[in-house]
């Protein structure tokens, strides 16, 4: 087991102040202390080489958890162990074995080209010249950024900068990688490039990756397993394909009718999800699929039909909402 957390918790104390001058004077004499629980009793285990999606709405506790696991924050309670190390003890060997990429906060030096940041990290992590050159050549080729690494960081596009952030984060070949919204704001082409790059790194180095993202495409493409967290607590931990079981094991049946309904009545109004011309989508329970398929074929002239799982994005919406 490479990563293990047990009842990991983090809370913050803060003070509330009403508006107005009177409240300002009142706060000088007495302030009401309040507590915000960001993470509550989070426990999970992750094996070496796994890519795990860490999913939840804004404010769910995802980033706070990643910061505790990377040693940036101390927990209020609970324990965590990564490859035998306690993260917040910040042992040098531990720090050399991990990396964290925050989509909203970069490590590139703004007025210098990315290659300067790469070289700085080479010195910090004491990487040999041959290893550094080989790794840089490999990453630059995989991400197709050979012509950009000597360009000022502030002149790069958002997608180009994120590619450079990944190179900077991985130049020391960490065994554990924490990714917080690495594809935020990126176009689909750049997202796919980053997906391929992360998959390659995971397979070649047997690296363990914990990934947070609001883009379900990231999770579906990269993560066989997902952990859903909301209001600081884990709601689901299992295979990504099983997330829809949390909302009742339902399926979409999509079918196209050759000549529409004609004079026939549509028999599935109660479960109709979408209708566009002669294209119908209905949402049904798993156990009803066989019976409904029989009804469709017996009563309508079907041109095409497919059965699909509930899209991950919709399943997550239902889970968050409830």
Instruction: Render pLDDT for 137-183 as a digit per residue (tens, 0 to 9).
Output: 999 999 999 999 999 999 999 999 999 999 999 999 999 999 999 98
CA distance linking residue 127 with residue 225, whole number of Å = 33
Which letter does DSSP use for residue 85 in this model? B
Residues in the chain where the model's pLDDT stays below 50: none
So what's the pLDDT on residue 321? 76
Q: Determine the pLDDT at residue 237.
A: 95
- pLDDT, tens digit, 9 for 90 and up, residues 185-198: 888 899 999 999 99
Of 212, 215, 181, 182, which Cα lies nearest the Cα of 65?
212
Give the dihedral of Cα atoms 45, 51, 57, 60; nearest 10 deg: 30
Rounded distance, CA 83 to CA 98, Å?
10
Number of H helices, E strands in the chain: 10, 13
DSSP class of residue 228 equals E
What class has domain 3-244? alpha beta
List alpha helices for the chain, DSSP H.
21-29, 62-69, 92-97, 114-124, 129-143, 158-170, 188-205, 216-222, 289-299, 312-321
Q: Quote the pLDDT of residue 47.
A: 96
Taking the domains of the chain in order of start, what are their residue ranges?
3-244, 248-321
Write down the pLDDT at residue 318.
Answer: 80
CATH of domain 248-321: 3.30.70
Class of residue 203 by CB neighbours under 10 A (exposed 0-12, middle 13-18, buried 19+): exposed
């Amino acid at each position: 087991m490479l990563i293990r957390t047990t009842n990991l918790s983090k809370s913050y104390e803060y003070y509330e102040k009403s508006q107005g001058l009177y409240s300002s004077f009142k706060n000088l004499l007495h302030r009401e202390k309040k507590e915000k629980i960001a993470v509550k009793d989070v426990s999970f285990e992750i094996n070496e080489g796994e890519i795990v999606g860490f999913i939840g709405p804004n404010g769910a506790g995802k980033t706070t958890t990643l910061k505790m696991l990377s040693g940036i924050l101390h927990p209020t309670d609970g324990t965590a162990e990564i490859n035998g190390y306690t993260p917040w003890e910040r042992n040098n060997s531990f720090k050399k074995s991990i990396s964290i990429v925050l989509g909203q906060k970069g490590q590139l030096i703004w007025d210098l080209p990315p290659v300067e940041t790469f070289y700085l990290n080479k010195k910090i992590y004491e990487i040999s010249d041959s290893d550094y050159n080989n790794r840089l050549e490999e990453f630059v080729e995989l991400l197709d950024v050979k012509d950009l690494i000597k360009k000022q960081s502030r002149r790069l596009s958002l997608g180009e900068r994120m590619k450079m952030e990944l190179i900077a984060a991985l130049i020391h070949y960490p065994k554990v990688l924490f990714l917080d919204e690495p594809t935020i704001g990126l176009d689909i082409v750049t997202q796919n490039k980053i997906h391929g790059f992360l998959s390659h790194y995971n397979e070649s180095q047997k690296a363990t990756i914990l990934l947070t993202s609001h883009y379900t495409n990231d999770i579906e493409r990269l993560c066989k397993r997902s952990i859903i967290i909301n209001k600081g607590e884990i709601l689901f931990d299992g295979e990504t394909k099983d997330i829809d079981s949390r909302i009742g094991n339902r399926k979409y049946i999509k079918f196209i009718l050759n000549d529409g309904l004609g004079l026939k009545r549509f028999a599935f109004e109660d479960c109709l999800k979408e209708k566009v011309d002669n294209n119908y989508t209905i949402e049904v329970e798993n156990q009803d699929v066989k019976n409904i398929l029989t009804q469709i074929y017996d009563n309508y002239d079907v041109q095409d039909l497919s059965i699909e799982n509930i899209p991950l994005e919709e399943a997550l919406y239902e889970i968050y909402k409830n």
